[in-house]
Structure 1
């Protein structure tokens, strides 16, 4: 089974009203149409979309399990906050999972078509920052690249776990870019190092190259999020002895 992040799936791909409601709400949360702290009710969503409350309720329960929303007693749901601690933990998990996937993919090998597609995705578009009109295109390119590698190792559970992380990371990247539009773009030379190791079937080199890439992204994301006024204005507490 091939696993893909939400960005690479069409909202209409769902097989039921609940699936479609889930994907649509998830995209709205990831793309910050419903930003962290946004509060709403299932009745509001159902009315706005012309649905009954049942598929919306089921979709929200699933999003709650994903950690993207939390129920508020007698007040509906609230979109989950983003904290630096959570982001750091998520990025560290991403490094572990994607490093292992890259090593497995290098050991197993990819098809000719998959290798050629990875090479195609290593072309620099020449735009000097991540934010701006090219953001969606760049995110799609990045997640297509990483999805090929996530699925390439043949470990279904690992691929599924990585794709779940991609969805959370996408929301965080969009938030980071909103705060700091001048974030540097995804580095093509880092992608190329991963591709070279996979093509040459060098698992340890592939793991190291992927971990280097994800750790660079971690630093840049945390730096951008640290510019949030909410963080800048937070009082520094003296730890108790």
Structure 2
């Protein structure tokens, strides 16, 4: 099997496992093995080995002392820290999109946002990913992709209670960008992200410390 084929299969495994972690199909602390993942995804162990390394770099899995990997238990304090970084990076996205993005691409994204059902977490997350892509900065896209993956379960939990609000925020941000008002869209985006941050802070105050929602002893 060629190197290119292994890379494509590795990427497929990374995407599948990241999605399963975000959807709680793989639970925090659940053990992962090369053999098991290879069988599940019908690939050899070589791309699985590379996928696990990538997932470890993304902070989604951790290597166990005795061998193998496990789904990482994401501490809420870490999520809160990541969301501080997220807010700043999203402001940078808006700045770059306002400067470089094609108006037609923004109008197409707005049309999609308006036509799709509000509250669908996959759709709402795609808006952020597409805006990052339109910034034209590949490293920014990579950094945000890691943050999206590591904070996704909490963002989805927050979104259950704010579906319409989140949808409307995205529509308004896109409208401002199309109107050439990036300076107004930037603080709007920061506030949009900080709403999720405040939700995480509320969980922390309530004693939540990880995805398992265990309270401290």
What is the rounded CA distance, in whole Å, between the counterparts of 2:137 and 2:41 in structure 1?
38
Is this contact kept in 2: 1:38–1:79, CA < 8 A?
yes
Give 1:43 shift.
Answer: 2.4
Q: Which has a greater percent of helix?
A: 2
- Give the secondary-structure state (helix, strand or coil) at the position aligned to 1:78: strand
- Residue correspondences, number: 209
Q: Deviations over 1:142-201 (max 9, x none)?
A: 122222321223323223322332222323334x36xxx952215144223312321221
From 97, 100, 113, the counterpart of 2:89: 97
Is this contact kept in 2: 1:104–1:153, CA < 8 A?
yes
What is the rounded CA distance, in whole Å, between the counterparts of 1:154 and 1:141 in structure 2?
21
Query: Please, what TM-score do these two structures have when normalized by structure 1?
Result: 0.73
Identify the residue that residue 205 of structure 1 maps to in structure 2: 184
Identify the residue that residue 172 of structure 1 maps to in structure 2: 154
- Give the secondary-structure state (helix, strand or coil) at the position aligned to 2:62: strand
Aligned-residue RMSD, C-alpha: 3.0
From 22, 47, 52, the counterpart of 2:14: 22
From 110, 115, 129, the counterpart of 2:107: 115
Is this contact kept in 2: 1:21–1:59, CA < 8 A?
yes
Give 1:35 shift.
Answer: 1.4
- Structure 1: segments with no counterpart, 5+ residues: 1-12, 131-137, 236-241
1:183 aligns with 2:175: no
Identify the residue that residue 23 of structure 2 maps to in structure 1: 31
Is this contact kept in 2: 1:183–1:224, CA < 8 A?
no
